Chain A
Amino acid sequence: MDYITGGIFRACGLIFFLDREVLGIALLSLRVSAIATIFASLVGIPLGFIVGTGTFWGKRVVITIFNTLMAFPTVVVGLLLYAFISRQGPLGFLGLLFTPWAMVIGQFILSAPLIVALTISASQGIDPRVRLTALSLGANRFQVAQAVLSEARFALISAVIAGFGRVITEVGCAFMVGGNIRGYTRTMTTAIAMETAKGDFAFALALGFLLLTIAFLVNIFLHWLQGRRG
């Protein structure tokens, strides 16, 4: 029990005194996950909207694929991405392996299907009168889409939160394609796994608390944004 309370005290100290290593790890985690989530949202929201509101052959199959991809194991994504960007892989010449950008790509692959699937569900749940009302008031096709997305904004922000939550907490992909290099690709989750394995429970716990705090703060910010846009 002592090591838990000791860990908590040390965690508070590391966070309170802004330990440089902890801060560096936290900032890298945030940066990688934020960039991945932004790209995943830029691709996922329009794609989800098109699939959700469009009528085309094979729509149900496409929706099923995205729903399945939501549960794509992080290590499998890491493994496949590793195969592509490793030196012998088809994209090996880009030199991405064990860089933060490799982790961004991996996390993009993890969060995009989740955002697409949740956007599909959000756009299908929108009252059909939104479209008709916007049309009847003289909106063009783009403005109609904007009106529909605006009505779905609460669900869309939830989709982005879920996408961010999936990637900030994942460890498998970041470990495999990032390599957990100290000061370069070490994120909170990979550091927690490593420090626990090493027996430095306090440091791992400090990072764990910090991860929870960041996830909490990001959620508060996004919910505040939700309220503001409402």
Chain B
Amino acid sequence: MDSYQFIVEDLTKFYNGKKVLDIPHLTIKRGLIHGVIGPNGSGKTTLLTILSFLVQPSSGRIIFNGLEVSSQLNDELALRREIAVVLQNPFLFNTTVEKNVAYGLKVRGMNKNVQKEKVSECLDLVGLAGFERRRARELSGGEAQRVAIARGIALNPEVLFLDEPATNVDNIHVEALERIIGELNHKYGTTVILTTHDVNQTYRIADDVIVLFEGEIKKIVSKDAFRSPL
């Protein structure tokens, strides 16, 4: 199998005539944790939403799993079902935590018992065991963020996108979150692409770091460069 999850070529994105993303070439290796860092407005979320097939680029080519993704997506749904996205400031449906976490499984037509099992397993993973019956809208910001993460990892996706996953999460749970990301990547070989402001966090967990500034890639640092043995 192709060792690249994504190959991006000549990718641009314009909003209201302004170029917000310009990436001549980028490769994302399968089964690694990729951190995308950069200041506000550097294009991190735009890159993430384009790679997760939620937003169309203005121009350029995206090759996913060795196949070119055309702008006229014929099988957009099948592609979207291979990935999971946890958006920054995630939205929780106005229902219970259980139904929120089970949503992606339900739309895939998964058996109800499997859904229940998976929900409790994932809630346990994010430190919210027993939260199933709680109303999602009554959770704190950090709890809501963790429910959104549980909802994403419940899908066992091939690629997991996390947009600023540590926002609103306290220090104790940031550690837990980093552990979960590592486990998910290690256990299932999930490719993780996460955006963050936190440079330290990125260097702690990512295998390589993509530095974005004003829509352009300024540097890609591989793990070998910052995780060399002392």
Contacts and interface: CB of A to CB of B under 8 A. Distances in A.
Interface of A: 127, 129-130, 132-140, 143, 147, 150-151, 230
Contacts of A147: 93, 103
B54 A139 contact: no
Interface stretch (B33-41, B78-86, B117-125): B78-86
A127 B87 CA distance: 14
B89 to A, nearest CB: 8
Nearest to A127: B91
A137 B81 CA distance: 7
Contact of B155 (A129, A134, A137): A137
Contacts of A132: 54, 87, 91
B104 interface: yes
B49 to A, nearest CB: 8
A139 B108 CA distance: 8
B104 A150 contact: no
13 contacts: A130-B91, A130-B93, A133-B93, A134-B103, A136-B84, A136-B85, A137-B152, A138-B80, A138-B104, A139-B103, A139-B107, A147-B103, A151-B94
Q: Is the interface of B mostly helix, strand, loop or mixed?
A: loop
B59 to A, nearest CB: 22
A139 B89 CA distance: 20
B65 to A, nearest CB: 16
B189 interface: no
A143 B104 CA distance: 11
Contacts of A151: 93-94
B151 interface: yes
A136 B155 CA distance: 11
A135 B94 contact: no
A226 to B, nearest CB: 12
A136 B77 CA distance: 10
A192 to B, nearest CB: 40
A140 B93 contact: no
Interface of B: 52, 54, 77, 80-81, 84-85, 87, 89-91, 93-95, 103-104, 107-108, 151-152, 155
A190 to B, nearest CB: 41
B87 A137 contact: no
A151 B108 CA distance: 20
A129 B84 contact: no
A140 to B, nearest CB: 5
Nearest to A147: B93
Contacts of B95: 150, 230
A150 B89 CA distance: 20
A75 B119 CA distance: 56
Nearest to B92: A133
A138 B80 CA distance: 6
B180 to A, nearest CB: 18
B54 A138 contact: no
B54 A135 contact: yes
A135 B228 CA distance: 40
Contacts of A140: 77, 107
Given A129-B91, A136-B85, 13 more contacts: A129-B90, A135-B54, A135-B80, A136-B54, A136-B84, A136-B87, A137-B104, A137-B151, A138-B84, A138-B107, A138-B155, A151-B93, A151-B94
Nearest to B157: A138
Nearest to A137: B104
A136 to B, nearest CB: 4
